[in-house]
Structure 1
């Protein structure tokens, strides 16, 4: 049986919008993807963590740096045949003072780490969803600001350059799903299903699995 690593943040973990709860199995996109891949004899390794970034350390929560987490995850999950990586939303937070170019460089470093175990053509980069226009307001998530919204909207072109330079595959989640109105940041139940369908179809059509 092949193994597929799904590496991401709260939208991979399956956070229910405006709560601290997790969508159940059969609802979050990683689990729907697993059900679709059963007939392909592929096992999904769920590695989503709330607050995870590409390369940044969170001063308030430990172990959120994706690049630093990857070596241990790759070693403990070995062997891994393919990977889906969806990160970048948390990098848009105002206190990281980042931009699309820097965030894409972070994704590139994560992909470089993945390629120590996985061929680049077996890696799918998923540029994350946009942030809602009001995400920065106090009733939602003031760790973001208005610039964060613009940064998130401009990630895909930079991610595409990274994918091209590494020989990896790429899609933009924002082409298919948007954040919930409830918190301007996380996926709805319906969006999880849509994203699972899109990722599954891409994995199969691109012969990633």
Structure 2
């Protein structure tokens, strides 16, 4: 069952933690790929120096963050890779949750071809773990790109659904790769499923 609009329309730190264990799904030409969300980071908008919307910045790139909750915010980094975020909170409050890693579920063979041009059963152990452990890696594996920026997560091309509700311990730490963000780099807004091998290193 797909998550409801109401799921996303609440405190962003709460949304981030509750996304853990849910399944991120993409559908392309009837081909389904999916992964269990095992690592996320929250970005808290106007006062968060690591957020694209810090200080009320409102460029064409970040406009999606100001829209309704429960849409995908996909952006390009380093001129090479995509990262996928979930927009949270009510319209006009530009906050989002970055999906940092997923555990592969459906469509592993397709994901393996997209990432390594190999059959899944040919992957080395290191490649299996690296298949979707990192924000750009999961986007390549699930074929998430800029065309999905602004897509409704209640739609049929990219969406998030309830997982199997296994119990797990949530770890937290500071966020990764945001040394430019001054004091915000130390905020403990990265959350992950403790002990899951697909959490990014």
When normalised by structure 2's length, the TM-score is 0.25
- Which structure shows the higher helix fraction? 1
When normalised by structure 1's length, the TM-score is 0.25
Higher relative contact order (CA 8 A, sep 6+): 2
